[in-house]
Each structure stands twice: as structure tokens, then as C-alpha cells.
Structure 1
Amino acid sequence: MRILLVSWEYPPVVIGGLGRHVHHLAESLATAGHDVAVLSRRPGGSDAATAPTTDTVVNGVRVVAVAEDPAEFGFATDMMAWTLAMGHAMVRAGLRLLSNGGWVPDVVHAHDWLVAHAAIAVAEFADLPLVTTIHATEAGRHSGWVSGRINRQVHSVEWWLAAESDAIVTCSTSMRDEVSRLFGPDLADITVIHNGIDTTAWPYRPRRERSGPAQLLYAGRLEYEKGIQDLLAALPRIRRSHPGTTLVIAGDGTQETWLRELVRRHRVTRAVTFDGRVDHARLESLLADSAAIVLPSRYEPFGIVALEAAASGTPLVTSTAGGLGEAVTDGVTGVTFAPGDVAGLANAARRVLDDPAAAQRRARAAYERLGEDFTWELVARRTVAVYQHTKRRVRHPLGRPVIAERPLPERDPDQQS
């Protein structure tokens, strides 16, 4: 098949898990013999003079990385205007791709709301089926409500993209239910395809017997929905039963200032290290040196870092939020707790620290499961099956979505907005 993937993230422009997902999917599709092009962008804050549009082939994938237009928009300060400008540049590049070279895909595959305008326009122009993977939702990130102006704008674009799609993919059953609840009932079929993992990129290293205090690890974005505040609240309890236990927090995000204040409030300043955004080699090292990785998410569509930790042989301590509850089985491939349950989190961490041998057996089971359920070859094959069964639906005029007016739940007054 000829496949056009549209994503605002693609190496070297990677913000989070979405970029890694699209990258591995594209290369796996190409390896399987499909003709794959990716429509993406150049780095934010650049322009066509310093970072012009490129059209290259990397590992069998044609990558069209679109230059930013010169208008003075920044993602952090003008998110919707910046997104519209990016979409406009992508639309022009997508139409050139179809018109100039004579290359017309069989399907357009959009990844998340930021590329809605480009993906919808290209699919409509060429009368192609539109498949969309929804990796997360604005409402999900905000406990079910979208009361703020920008929250509502993002939600409306997500709703529009879902309504325009001829097939929808989610990475977990919980995300399928969330998408259906938020954007239904007249959506196209929704297929669950779990994320994949390239185990060759994460060398498996069984934990060695260690003397002395244990190190725990959190890796991911520093955002409220990731639940790091619950981990910090649990750390004093963990240290009472396991003196000297330390925590490394790897990642960056909007809540770092607030989280640093929580570290002081819980009096664990000497026990917590903020490592910032880390590269692949540093994350490998942290995984190898940690007694467990703790992923305390309150909202998590899937949690690809859980797969990376499993591939590395690092014991898993995770909440059951969203896709984490599907990726990790309590007592079999890791230890789990309910989202927001500080006492449950502390007890789960203690289970790992109390019995390292049992933790390693669970880690081995998690590693072995990867080869059965989470290979990129399997992800690509299941995605192609969606492409092959998707036809362009008859379009009808769309009205505006009805968005709940109820405000977001109250949060800690000291939390940074």
C-alpha cells in the first residue's frame, strides 16, 4: 500500500511518546514492503531561511519535514494560532506532494489533533480514506472536563477530527471507551492496537543483588496527570520501612516548580534528584541502576515507558490508570495500585524492595510478554488490516460540538497552572 502518515512529531523532532510511535510504525510498515511517506515539521522556533523544508528518505521512509512560516507564533504562548499555522504549512506541502510528483497514497493516517487540518484537507482533496490514531484527549488529561477556553478549543478540534475519520485507532481499551464516550455516538469503527517496543534498543539487564539503599526511578513528562505528586507523598512512607531509598525524576514539564516545592514540603530534598530531560543512553543507565521504575499516572492512554522498562529488565510499579492497567498485570508482570492511592503506591514499592527475587521474576515475565504482544511488526500488521478495510464514508455537514460547561475539579492551590 501507499501510506501517508501525518504527525507533528517525527525524528529528530520528538516531544514524547507520539513521535517514537509514529517513527517505529513508519519504519515497520516500510520494512513490510509498503510505500510510506511521513508529513511532519521542522523544529519549532525555526524558519524557512534557517531550516527549509526537506524531502528525504530515511530507513526506507520518505520524510517531508515542513518549514515553519515566518509569522510570529510560539507554541507555548499562542498554541492554537501556532497549530493553525503549522497545519497551513503542512496542507501546502501535502498538496505539493500529491500534485507535483504524481504520488497519491491509498490512505491518510493522522496522529492526534494537532494535524487535524492538514490530514482532513489532504484526505478531502484526494478523496482518500482518513484513519486517525487518537493517542490522548484533552478531557482525559483534565479529569473529564474542559472548562478553559483553550481546553475547549482543543476538545473541539479533537471532536472534529474524530467525526471526519473513516476509522479510528486507540492504543488501549480504556482509550477506545474514552473516545467513544467523548466524541460518539456516530463515529467510525474504533480498533485497539497497543503500542510496540523495539527490544533491541533496550538491552535486558537483570537486577544484581545490591547492598545499601535502593534507587527508584520516575521517567516521563512532569505534568499533573502523571501523578508524580503521589509518588513524592509516598516517598517518606517508603523511606521509613526502607531507610535511604532515593528517587530520580527524569523528564521535564510545566509542573517542575510545583513538584520541587512538594519535595521540600515532604522533607525529602536530599532523597530526590531532578535529572531533567534525558537521552536514550542516560535512560538506559538509570533503568539499569534502579530497583524499580514507578509510574504513578492518574491518566495514561498507554504508557510506552513501561514497555521500555520491561525491555530493560527493570521491575515495574505502576498505577492501573488507562493503558497501564492493560500493559501490567499485578503480581505477574509488575505490581500495581489504584491511581491517586498514596498508601497503595507505598505498599506496592515496598513489595518490590522487600523481595528483589520475586520482583526480578515479574520483570522477566514482563520482558517475555513483549515478544508476544508488543512487537512493532505486529503493530504494523494490525494497522495495515485497518487500512485495508477502511473506505471513505459519505460526508455530512457538521454542527459545533456540545461541550460540558462544568469546571475542572479543584487541584492543590499551590499547583502551578
Structure 2
Amino acid sequence: MRVLVVHNTYRSEQPSGEDRVVHQEVELLATAGHDVDMYLRHSDDIAAMSLAAKAMVPLRVPWNRQARADLAAHLRARRPDVVHIHCTFPLLSPSVVAACADVGVPAVATLHNYTQVCAPGTLYRDGRICTDCVGGSPLQAVRHGCYRASRPATLPLVVAQTANRDLWWSGIARFLCVSRSQRHILVQAGMPADRMTVHHNLVVDQDVHRATRPNHVLYLGRLTEEKGLRLLMAAWDQHVARAAARLPLVVAGSGPLQHEVAHWAEARPEVQFLGLQTRDQCKELLAGAAAVVAPSVWLEAFGLVVVEAMAAGVPVVAAAHGAFVELVDHGVTGLLFRPGDVESLVDGLAQVQSGPARNRSMGEAARARYERDFAPEVGVRRLVTEYRAAIDGSLCAPV
């Protein structure tokens, strides 16, 4: 099968799990014998643009005529069987969907977040889950300045979302949602259920194995409010106050809360803040973890770090909402706590440190679940099935 992958990469100073998933899918498809080409734009390129070119970027977010023409020419030259679209913001725009129609190539789109119904794609605003635009007017996002706390920065996203809704919803042969919970929300917003299926992200086995004697609890990811860092800090302080912290907490990552987290960790000998780590360093940290904490206060569409922990045989303590409830079997492969509830998270932290035998058993069950549902060979077979369905024009089975 000839596949063209279309993607706009994120800025390198903000490492994205989405970028990693895209490149892993490409590598796995190629390894399975498929002819895979990539049509990429890089957000890092914006920094080197002239001032005039930079000023044009927001104006082209809703529609980029040049991207449409360039992709159409590429499609005519390559003649793929199917196009797989990922992120189109900010340098590609939804015009890439029109380019596929111009050439008559079926398009599949993976929905990594909620940008089809939410300008910033997070369903999170002012410290709470926000679904105001789900099934309603996205103009509220401009009023609140939902993207980067800026009305001018939010406006191009809302224009793109509003002006191109029919194009997206009619021009994509098959939408791949990364979780059932994400699909449910998008269908509620009016997206075409008969072309929306669930395809979990492919997660490569990194050959990481949980240590016989793990020596820390791990938070690994972006340091942002919606990821639940403040909730974790409050819960950890209570956890320590109850003399239950047999293992230290290691926090690795970068983001807007980096300085706040670093300052908090400095005053606590049982906390180690490491900042942004390389992939090899992340693997080492994961191998030494008794548990990974995923305290997100927003509705995670998937949860890459959760499945990477499962692959390593490490149980997870995760908030019981969003995709986490379908990734984590409570008491079997990990623990779920009440979202936003400090006491419930404290209890989860205590449980993963108080029973080594149970902790090890949950890790083994997590690894078995990974092999059954998330291993690359499983994901590639499902992905190719979705491509063939898009080519054939098949509708999705009810979920």
C-alpha cells in the first residue's frame, strides 16, 4: 500500500507525543512492507521567517492556498492509495483536505486532541474542564482568549474551525479517534459517527523492563496546569506528612510550571526535579519506577505515558476520567483516583508504595494488557484495515 502522511510538527522546545506517534507509525508501516512518504511542515521554521512572512502565518491558519497547491502537486506525482492527515496547524491548514479531493485520493485523519470542537484542543479553561463550545458556538473561545490567553491568537483558530467544518466532516473518509471517550465527545458535538472509529495510538516497545527493586515514583511529561502538577504537589505533601513516602518522587519534564515545580522540589528532600530529559534518560527513569503518576485534570484524549509505562511493566496511578478509564483497569493494571481529589490521589500514592507484591502483580498485568491491545504489530494491522476501509468507502461499525 502507498501511504502519504501529512503532518505539521510541533516546536522542538515543546516536545510532543503526537510527533513521536506520527514518526513511529511511519517507521512501523515501512517495516511492515508499505511504501510510506511524508509531507511535512515544521513549526520551528517560523523563527527563521522574515517579519512579513511571520505576519502572514496567522492569516493562513484558516486556509493556505499554497499548501493546497503544493500538496496536490505532490499527490499527482506520488499517486498514493491513501493520505493520512495528522496536525495541520499552523503551516498547512485544512486546505490539505481539499488538495486530497482535488486529486481524488481518500483521506484518513487521526484526531489527537479536540481541535475539531475546541480552539486550543484541550477542553480546559480557567482551571476547569470546559465543554462550552462542544455543540455550541466556538466564538466563545475568542471571547475568553482560549488559545495562549489571547483573543487575537484564538481568532484564526476559530475562523479555521468554523469555515472548514463542512470540509473536514465531509472530506475525510475516516476519522481515527485515539480513545472511545474522545470519540463520544466529538460525536456529541455533531461529527459524523458513521465515519469515526477508535484507533489507539501505536506505542513502540522500547525494551524497558521494570527494575526488580524500583527506587522512585515518577511523573514524566509536560509541566502544565492541565496535567495536574499542582494537584500532585498538594497530594505529595500530604502523603509525606502521613509518613507514607517510602520512595521519593521524581519529576521529569518541562513547561510553563517548570520554575514553580523546581522551587517546590528544592525544599523537599524526598522530591527530585530533573527537568527535560532525553529519550534514553526517560527510559532509565521508567525502568526504575515503582509507579507512574498521571494526575491530569483535563480530559486526556489518550495518554501516551500511561501505555509506555504499561509496556515497561510499571503500574500507573491515574485520574479516573478521559481516556485513562479505558487504559487502566483499576486494581488490576494500575489504580484510578477521583479526578481533582487530593485525598483520593494520596490514597493511590500510598497503595503503590505499601504493597510491593501487589505492585509487581499490577505491573505484570499492565504488560500483558499492552501486548494484547497496544503492541505495534496489533496497531499496524488495525491501521491498515482502516486504510482499506477508507479506500473502499466503508462506514464505521457502531461503537
Once the two structures are superposed, the pairs formed by residues 289-308 of structure 1 within 5 Å of their partners are 289-298=288-297, 299-308=299-308
Equivalent residue in structure 2 for 1:207, among 212, 231, 234: 212
Q: Counterpart of 1:291 in 2: which secondary structure?
A: strand
Give the partner amino acid of 1:256: Q
126-135 vs 244-253, greater mean Cα deviation: 244-253
2:361 is matched with 361
Name 1:274's counterpart in structure 2: 273
Shift of 1:42: 4.3
Identity, % of aligned positions: 30
2: CA distance, partners of 1:71 / 1:105 = 36
| Superposed counterparts of 1:68-147, under 5 Å | 70=50, 80-81=58-59, 83=61, 90-99=67-76, 102-114=77-89, 115-138=92-115, 139=118, 140-142=122-124, 143=129, 144-145=131-132, 146=141, 147=144
Distance 1:335 1:207, change over 3 A: farther
User: Distance in 2 between the 1:351 and 1:28 partners?
Assistant: 37
Map of 1:217 onto structure 2: 218
Cα distance in 1, alignment partners of residues 154 and 342 from structure 2: 28
More deviation, 155-164/359-368: 155-164
Q: How far apart are the structure 1 equivalents of 2:14 and 2:68? A: 21
Q: TM-score, normalised by structure 1?
A: 0.76
**Alpha carbons 2:61, 2:156 under 8 Å: kept:** no
Partner deviation per Cα, 1:66-108 (whole Å, 9 max, x = no partner): xx7655566xx997358579x5664454234234xx3211222
CA separation in 2, counterparts of 1:73 and 1:245?
A: 51
Q: Cα 1:6–1:337, aligned 2, differ >3 Å: closer, same or farther?
A: same
CA offset at residue 255 of structure 1? 3.0
Runs of 5+ unmatched residues, structure 1: 48-67, 394-417
Alpha-carbon distance change, 228 to 13 in structure 1, aligned in 2, over 3 angstroms = closer
Q: How many matched pairs?
A: 359
Unaligned runs of 5+ in 2: 133-140, 146-150, 394-399
Alignment match, 2:203: 197
* Partners of 1:130 and 1:165 within 8 A in 2: yes
Equivalent residues of 1:13, 1:42 under 8 A apart: no
d(CA) in 2 for partners of 1:302, 1:323? 5
Q: Report the secondary structure of 2:9's partner residue.
A: coil
1:356 deviates by: 1.3
Matched AA of 1:208: R
The secondary structure found in structure 1 opposite 2:202 is coil
Alignment of 1:112-191 (within 5 A): 112-114=87-89, 115-138=92-115, 139=118, 140-142=122-124, 143=129, 144-145=131-132, 146=141, 147-148=144-145, 149=151, 150-151=153-154, 153-155=156-158, 157-158=160-161, 160=165, 162-163=168-169, 164-182=171-189, 184-186=190-192, 189-191=195-197
C-alpha deviation, 1:190, in angstroms: 0.5
Q: 1:392 Cα shift?
A: 9.5
Deviation at 1:169, TM superposition (A): 0.7
Distance 2:278 2:49 in 1: 29
Once the two structures are TM-superposed, the CA of residue 329 in structure 1 deviates from its matched residue by: 0.6
Shift in Å, 1:136: 0.5
- Residues 240-267 of structure 1 show CA distances to partners (whole Å, capped at 9, x for unaligned) of 2325653222111223345456x38xx9
Inter-CA distance 245–28: structure 2 relative to 1 (3 Å threshold)? closer
Q: Is the 8 A contact 2:245 2:353 kept in 1?
A: no
Instruction: Measure, in 2, the Cα distance between the counterparts of 1:338 and 1:29.
Output: 38
